[in-house]
């Protein structure tokens, strides 16, 4: 009931539609209950008394009732469907908005395929319940109540005899409900698993084929599909035993009405006529179809509850990163300070990913971060735009703790180019303008030129209106990365974060991008992560991380003179290159003299 009541709260804004649907249910019920009474009079008055005019009147009345029931049925179905679809629309919007605002930590722990399944399949189950299960359930309850009252008012003993077998139906329905709730949840979980496998393999189709693992993945999908099939068969077996039991109960009730009613017609003073027996039997049969459908109502209710549980697991997930009440949104200059920062992806876990990090970056400075894989470079820069919150210490920008700043205002002033550049299935223009949709065409072109992307963009027949494929698949890795850099630059950020942003480009393109970025970095605070020293050797400060701690810091010239990790990296990467460059320069200088 807790889950069901929570689902029903989404219908509150559309109470008027629910009221119209229910009023039409009442009208349909009243019109349906009138039919057996007319049949009773047709037999007792029209046939037994030989009143032909009443037969004609009864026929016309039945036609009129049929038309009214059709109108009422249309109103019920239209407004129930409208209510269901509108509610599903609201739930999907809320779910999508909430998922987009959940922290990176939540998405690190979640499976994309499961989120997709819950946003589509589970919402569809709730919509189906509101459109059919809820309406049919109310119709069954209303019709049962109305028929019961009319039958007892007509003849209480015969009503008791006719309805007595229907009492066990309540207990059967409760047993069916309790038995299948967990099974429906299991079915939805298995559907999510299938969606997860499908999503992983479609995204990683190149890897699957490169390693010739098609058959393995097909087998894995088949195994999960078989589990789903077996679970659904268990539901079918339960349902298959439930429905015949319903028919037996209805048949028993009909037999009792005919048996006892027929006997009462022979008892003087019983007040039971042949028409009354026919009417009572019609009432019982009237309940037969709705009561059989009651099993479907229970099934849809259980599916809706199982889906509601899965949806509310997402909507109840804590919003770990959000703007605090009274958060401020100042125009930032970009002075960034890390003050004894410690960080862990799982609060309370040890060892920390980052430990005792203290550094300062002033506007216009370039801070380079180096270190082996897993040293904490990406974790460190992820704390600046609050993708994650620090575990200890604090980060300030212009003296403001980032946790006191409005989250949207903070991120709008930070340009980020991540290690894996993702583009959307849209035009190149729309991708570059993603962070600043109102940017002028001149600004987009300027950003593209700065990222060394303009020339290859204009090489396409449609230029900036070229539509890139899903995740930018129609572009090369270097092209995607340059568009991602342009996307960050068009925001004109005060703080620029480049997370190994030149890893996907060749050496020549990297050189051109670095030359363009030198001018664009002026006046901005820039954090650069790179694996190649050629990218960072001109930085104002180089920070070398090892196992989450700062082990070296300073300028390139000073660090290569110290006995530290940076010097080791220099010997591995640049020493031979610089010696070769000096020898080539010497050869160029001696060549004119020789001539």
CA distance 272 to 97: 64
If we measure between CA atoms, which residue out of 475, 385, 490 comes closest to residue 445? 490
Q: Are residues 311 and 367 in the same domain?
A: no
Q: Are residues 246 and 370 in the same domain?
A: no
CA distance 322 to 330: 17
Name the domain count of the chain: 2
The mean pLDDT value of the chain amounts to: 80
Q: Select from 294, 315, 336 the last residue of a domain.
A: 315
β-bridge mates for residue 416, sequence order:
497
Half-sphere exposure of 566 (CA within 13 A, CB side): 26
**392-397/366-371 β-pairing:** unpaired
Grade residue 394 by pLDDT with cuts at 50, 70 and 90. Answer: very high
Mean pLDDT in residue range 192-211 = 75
- Assess contact for 178 and 303: CB atoms under 8 A: no
pTM of this structure: 0.73
β-bridge mates for residue 401, sequence order:
396
Q: Any idea which residue has 């022979």 for tokens?
A: 266
Q: Are residues 493 and 580 in the same domain?
A: yes
CA distance 80 to 74: 10
Kindly report the CATH number assigned to the domain that includes residue 29: 1.20.1560.10
pLDDT of residue 336: 92
- What is the phi/psi pair of residue 582, to 5°? -65, -40
- What is the phi/psi pair of residue 548, to 5°? 80, 5
Grade residue 395 by pLDDT with cuts at 50, 70 and 90. Answer: very high
582 pLDDT more than 60 = no
Does residue 335 lie in a domain region?
no
Q: Return contacts of 63-68, CB within 8 angstroms, 24+ apart.
A: 65/31, 65/34, 65/35, 65/38, 68/27, 68/31
β-bridge mates for residue 550, sequence order:
545
Mean pLDDT in residue range 282-310 = 77
242 pLDDT more than 60 = yes
- Assess contact for 380 and 390: CB atoms under 8 A: no
266 pLDDT more than 80 = no
Q: Select from 315, 339, 354 the last residue of a domain.
A: 315
Does residue 357 lie in a domain region?
no
177 pLDDT more than 70 = no
If we measure between CA atoms, which residue out of 38, 119, 120, 33 comes closest to residue 72? 33
> What is the domain extent for residue 215?
2-315
Mean pLDDT in residue range 181-196 = 75
Strands laid side by side in the 525-529 sheet: 414-417, 495-499, 525-529, 366-371, 541-546, 549-554
Grade residue 340 by pLDDT with cuts at 50, 70 and 90. Answer: very high
Percent of the chain residues past pLDDT 70, beyond the cut? 83
Distances from the Cα of 454 to the Cα of 93, 448, 449, 465, 483, angstroms = 37, 5, 5, 13, 9
Grade residue 254 by pLDDT with cuts at 50, 70 and 90. Answer: confident
Grade residue 588 by pLDDT with cuts at 50, 70 and 90. Answer: low
Grade residue 401 by pLDDT with cuts at 50, 70 and 90. Answer: very high
CA distance 517 to 508: 14
- CB-count exposure of residue 200 (10 Å: 0-12, 13-18, 19+): middle
Percent of the chain residues past pLDDT 90, beyond the cut? 4
User: What DSSP element (H or E) covers 370?
Assistant: strand 366-371
Does residue 27 lie in a domain region?
yes
β-bridge mates for residue 542, sequence order:
368, 554
Does residue 350 lie in a domain region?
no
pLDDT tens column, 61-100: 888 888 988 898 899 889 988 999 999 999 989 888 888 8
Of 240-254, 409-423, 539-553, the one with minimum mean pLDDT is 240-254
Q: Are residues 156 and 270 in the same domain?
A: yes
Q: Are residues 17 and 98 in the same domain?
A: yes
114 pLDDT more than 90 = no
Does residue 282 lie in a domain region?
yes
Grade residue 364 by pLDDT with cuts at 50, 70 and 90. Answer: confident
DSSP string, 19-63: HHHHHHHHHHHHHHHHHHHHHHHIIIIIISS--HHHHHHHHHHHH
């Amino acid at each position: 009931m807790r889950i069901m009541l929570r689902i029903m709260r989404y219908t509150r804004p559309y109470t008027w539609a629910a009221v119209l649907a229910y009023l039409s249910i009442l009208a349909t019920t009243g019109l349906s209950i009138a039919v057996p009474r007319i049949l009773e009079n047709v037999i007792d008055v029209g046939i037994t008394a030989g009143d032909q005019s009443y037969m004609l009147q009864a026929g016309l009345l039945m036609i009129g009732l049929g038309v009214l029931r059709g109108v009422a049925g249309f109103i019920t179905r239209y407004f129930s469907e409208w209510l269901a679809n509108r509610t599903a629309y609201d739930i999907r919007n809320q779910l999508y908005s909430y998922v987009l605002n959940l922290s990176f930590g939540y998405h690190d722990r979640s499976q994309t395929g499961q989120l997709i399944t819950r946003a589509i399949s589970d919402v569809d189950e709730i919509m189906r319940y509101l459109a059919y299960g809820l309406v049919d359930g109310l119709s069954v309850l209303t019709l049962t109540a109305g028929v019961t009252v009319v039958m007892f008012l007509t003849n209480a003993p015969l009503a008791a005899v006719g309805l007595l077998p229907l009492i066990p139906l309540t207990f059967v329905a409760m047993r069916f409900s309790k038995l299948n709730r967990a099974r429906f949840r299991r079915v939805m979980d298995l559907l999510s698993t299938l969606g997860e496998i499908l999503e992983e393999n479609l995204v990683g189709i190149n890897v699957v084929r490169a390693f010739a693992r098609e058959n393995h993945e097909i087998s894995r999908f088949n195994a999960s599909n078989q589990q789903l099939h077996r679970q659904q068969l268990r539901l079918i077996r339960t349902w298959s035993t439930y429905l015949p039991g319903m028919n037996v109960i209805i048949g028993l009730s009909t037999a009792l009405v005919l048996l006892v009613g027929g006997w009462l017609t022979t008892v003087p003073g019983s007040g039971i006529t042949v028409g009354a027996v026919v009417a009572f039997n019609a009432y019982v049969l009237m309940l037969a179809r709705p009561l059989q459908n009651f099993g479907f109502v229970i099934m849809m209710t259980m599916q809706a509850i199982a889906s509601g549980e899965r949806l509310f697991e997402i909507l109840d997930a804590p919003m770990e990163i959000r703007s605090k009440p009274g958060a401020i949104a100042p125009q930032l200059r970009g002075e960034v300070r890390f003050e004894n920062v410690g960080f862990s992806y799982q609060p309370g876990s040890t060892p920390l990913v980052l430990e005792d990090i203290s550094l300062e970056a002033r506007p216009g400075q370039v801070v380079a971060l180096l270190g082996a894989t897993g040293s904490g470079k990406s974790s460190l820069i992820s704390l600046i735009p609050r993708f994650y919150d620090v575990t200890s210490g604090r980060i300030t920008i212009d003296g403001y703790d980032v946790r006191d700043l409005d989250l949207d205002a903070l991120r709008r002033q930070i340009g980020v180019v991540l290690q894996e550049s993702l583009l959307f299935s849209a035009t190149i223009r729309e991708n570059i303008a993603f962070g600043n949709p109102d940017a002028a065409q001149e600004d987009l072109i300027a950003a593209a030129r700065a990222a060394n992307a303009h020339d290859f963009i204009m090489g396409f027949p449609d230029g900036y209106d070229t539509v890139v494929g899903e995740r930018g698949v129609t572009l090369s890795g270097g092209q995607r990365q340059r568009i991602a850099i342009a996307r960050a630059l068009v925001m004109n950020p005060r703080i620029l974060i480049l997370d190994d942003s030149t890893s996907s480009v060749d050496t020549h393109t990297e050189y051109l991008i670095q030359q363009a970025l030198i001018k664009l970095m002026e006046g901005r605070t820039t954090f650069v992560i790179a694996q190649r020293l050629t990218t960072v050797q001109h930085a104002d400060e180089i920070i070398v991380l090892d196992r989450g701690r700062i082990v070296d810091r300073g300028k390139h010239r000073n660090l290569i003179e110290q006995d530290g990790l940076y010097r080791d990296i220099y010997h591995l990467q640049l020493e031979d290159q610089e010696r070769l460059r000096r020898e080539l320069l010497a050869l160029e200088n001696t060549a004119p003299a020789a001539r």
